[in-house]
Amino acid sequence: MPDLGLEVLLKGKNLARLFTGLGVALKISLASVLISLPLGILLGVLMTWKHPLIRAVLRIYLELIRIMPQMVLLFLVFFGTTRVFGWDLSGESASVIVFSLWGTAEMSDLVRGALISIPAHQYESSAALGLGKVQTYLYIIVPQTLRRLIPLSINLITRMIKTTSLILMIGVVEVLKVAQQIIEANRMSSPNAAFGIYLVVFFLYFIACWPVSLAAGYLERKWR
Amino acid sequence: MKKLFVKRIVALAATVTVAFSAAACGNSGAAAGNGDAAPAGSEAAEKTNAVYRTLDEIKQGGTIRIGVFSDKNPFGYVDENGEYQGYDVYFARRLGEDLGVDVEFVSTEAANRIEYLQTGKVDVILANFTVTKERAEEVDFALPYMHVALGVVSPDDKVVESLDGWDREEQMIVISGTTAETYLTENYPDIPLQKYDSYATAKNALENGNGAAWANDNTEVIAFAMQSEGYTVGIPELGSQDTIAPAVSLGNTTLLEWINEEIRLLGSERFFHADYEATLADTYGMDYEESLVVEGGGTQ
């Protein structure tokens, strides 16, 4: 067994600090997911409408967010709003805003894709069966769309959790930053700690994302 | 109205530039220079009106926000109990104490220090901030409290004490992108350089005898020689001396003058020597105290 320097985790509150950092990352991603899922679904439905103005606006929003690296968005919202409007956002709120903007954009595109993938005959058949418009959506279209959306949105959620590692650039101390702090604080006494600590960070991200995947698998089986 | 709009667009563009350069600069050579990421967004000329808090406003607010490194042992780091520690932090605490306010530490990165001051999101940066001409156009530096220079470390059995009359057969180890590389290329073009990408590989190269000596920031080579048996820093100060100083937002004169006065006053009690002994002596030993510490803001 090579020396992974794991003993530094037992020093003081180091292990607890890592979990606190994970908590910060999860809190920010959870808040953003809760905001972006419903908003994304709403915008996704709007995107399938034929109204040219709505489509154009949503398209521009989606593309703008998609081509910008998240780091640039974070700097824009955190420092940019101070420069331009004089708002003093905290790092945490700037992160939630960026991740919600990003999550909403990506989610809306997923919803749009799932909606248009439902073949037209599904609509026509339910009309032929005498179902009204609301009933068609409620009993025929939405259940099928949801099933298609699950793997896609799980992917998005885990990506959001993992991308929180960027928010250390705007001063939010999350799990990766705590890891770097621990490694650096001990670089004289345990120079090998880097590998061990990053391994622990890997497991922390894993235990954060794994339940999400499990829940998705369960839903997929249940709704088969 | 239109002017204001244009101004805002410019400000926004400046932020994007900074963000992209920060994203691009990443961690390359992070091991090499504690204080020396490229000056981010050097053209971010836009000066927002009074983003900063004056001395009185800070006193009224009851808290001073100080940006420090949280992962640069021994200058600014967080210990196992989650407390900020280090040479910069020791000074930051004293500033808060003498101002009669609480200190709120903000964890900064090398690449975003200027941006934090330009947006007034911190009052002071005390993050191993090397004074350069380019940076001085974007932030106001107070009097220095530390020296940095280049240093050269070599094995005990063949200590390199001077770079004059260098044996062309021998190579000098450097890390790419560091001040050491630039300095040697400009001033000693005859010395063959052996370049490495990271601190770890350069260190291995010296230990394996691939080069005659290793040139880097003197704090780094001194720390290396302290930790490793059989190595001596033959040249502890090479080239032009840079200084490390606190920085405030451009134009925040009340705070700047107070910090300068404070640094002068602290000189009489040899505060920074006490700071060195409390925070840096473990890493650098007592031999380098005089060459690293600047007391009372005076450079020799």
Same domain assignment for residues B63 and B154: no
Is residue B84 a part of any domain in this protein? yes
Spatial CB neighbours of B249, under 8 Å, sequence gap ≥ 6? B51, B52, B117, B118, B120, B123, B139, B140
Task: List Cβ neighbours of B14 (8 Å cut-off, separation of 6 or more).
Answer: A83, B41, B43, B44, B45, B46
* B203 within domain boundaries: yes
Residue B133: inside a domain: yes
- Residue B278: which domain range? 31-145+245-287
Q: Let me know whether B137 and B56 are in one domain.
A: yes
- Residue B12 in any domain: the answer is no
Is the pLDDT confidence value at A5 over 70? yes
SS3 assignment for chain A:
CCCCCHHHHHCCCHHHHHHHHHHHHHHHHHHHHHHHHHHHHHHHHHHCCCCHHHHHHHHHHHHHHHHCCHHHHHHHHHHHHHHHHCCCCCHHHHHHHHHHHHHHHHHHHHHHHHHHCCCHHHHHHHHHCCCCHHHHHHHHHHHHHHHHHHHHHHHHHHHHHHHHHHHHHHCCCCHHHHHHHHHHHCCCCCCCHHHHHHHHHHHHHHHHHHHHHHHHHHHHHHCC
- Based on the fold, state whether residues B170 and B279 are members of the same structural domain: no
Q: Which among A79, A173, A185 has the least Cβ separation from residue B115? A: A79
Centre a 10 Å sphere on the Cβ of residue B152 and count the other Cβ atoms it contains. Answer: 27
Chain B residue with Cα closest to A183:
B71
Same domain, B253 and B268: yes
- B161 plus B185 within the same structural domain: yes
B-chain CB neighbours of A8 within 8 Å are 80
* Closest in A13, A72, A181 to B71, CB measured: A181
Inter-chain residue contact B46 with A83, CB threshold 8 Å = yes
CATH number, residue B269: 3.40.190.10
Which residue from B19, B81, B282 is facing A75, i.e. has the nearest CB? Answer: B19
Chain B neighbors of A83, CB-CB under 8 A: 11-12, 14-15, 46, 48, 51, 118-119
Same domain? B77 vs B133: yes
Taken in order B235, B239, B241, B247, is the CA torsion positive or negative? negative
Note the pLDDT of residue B17: 63
Which residues of B fall within a CB distance of 8 Å from A87? none
The verdict on B69 and B107 lying in the same domain is yes
Residue B204 sits at the chain A interface (C-beta within 8 Å): no
- pLDDT for A25-49, tens place per residue? 999 999 999 999 999 999 998 998 8
Q: Answer whether residue A1 is part of any domain.
A: no
pLDDT reported for residue B11: 63
Residue B218, domain member (yes or no): yes
Q: Chain A partners of B78 at a C-beta cutoff of 8 Å? A: 178, 181, 185
Residue B242 phi, psi (nearest 5): -100, 160
A123 to chain B, minimum CA–CA distance in Å?
46
Q: ipTM score here?
A: 0.81
Average pLDDT over residues A85-107: 94
Tens-digit pLDDT string for chain B (300 aa): 455 556 666 666 666 666 555 554 443 333 333 334 334 443 343 444 578 999 999 999 999 999 999 988 899 999 989 999 999 999 999 999 999 999 999 999 888 899 999 999 999 999 989 898 889 999 999 999 998 889 999 999 889 998 988 888 899 999 887 888 889 999 999 999 999 887 778 888 998 999 999 999 888 899 888 888 899 999 988 877 889 999 999 999 999 999 999 999 999 999 999 999 999 998 888 888 888 899 998 854
Q: A85: domain range?
A: 6-222
Both B141 and B250 in one domain: the answer is yes
> Touching check for A215 and chain B: CB below 8 Å?
no
Residues 74-93 of A with CB under 8 A from B: 74-76, 79-80, 82-84, 86, 88
- Chain A residue with minimum CA distance to B284: A188
CA distance A94 to chain B (A): 13
The amino acid at B173: I
Record: contact B81-A71, CB cut-off 8 A: no
**B250 and B121 inside one domain:** yes
A-B C-beta contacts closer than 8 Å: 109
Q: How many structural domains compose chain A?
A: 1
- Mutation site for B-interface testing, chosen from A17, A82, A192 by largest number of B Cβ within 10 Å: A82
CA nearest to A166 within chain B: B23
pLDDT of A128 strictly over 50: yes
CB-based contact B12 A76, cutoff 8 Å: yes
- pLDDT, residue B251, reads 93
- A196 part of a folded domain: yes
Angle at CA A41, nearest 5°, toward A24 and A133? 155
A223 or B216, which is more confident? B216
- Is the domain of B45 the same as that of B126? yes
The predicted structure's pLDDT at residue B18: 60
pLDDT at A196 over 50: yes
Structural domain includes residue B16: no
Count of domains observed in chain B: 2
- Residue where a domain stops, chosen among B187, B221, B241: B241
The answer to whether A170 contacts chain B (CB < 8 Å) is yes
Vertex A167: Cα angle to A35 and B105 (nearest 5): 120
CATH code, domain with A13: 1.10.3720.10
Neighboring chain B residues of A185 at a CB cutoff of 8 Å: 71, 73, 77-80, 85
The answer on B153 and B35 residing in a single domain is no
Q: Is B116 in the same domain as B211? A: no
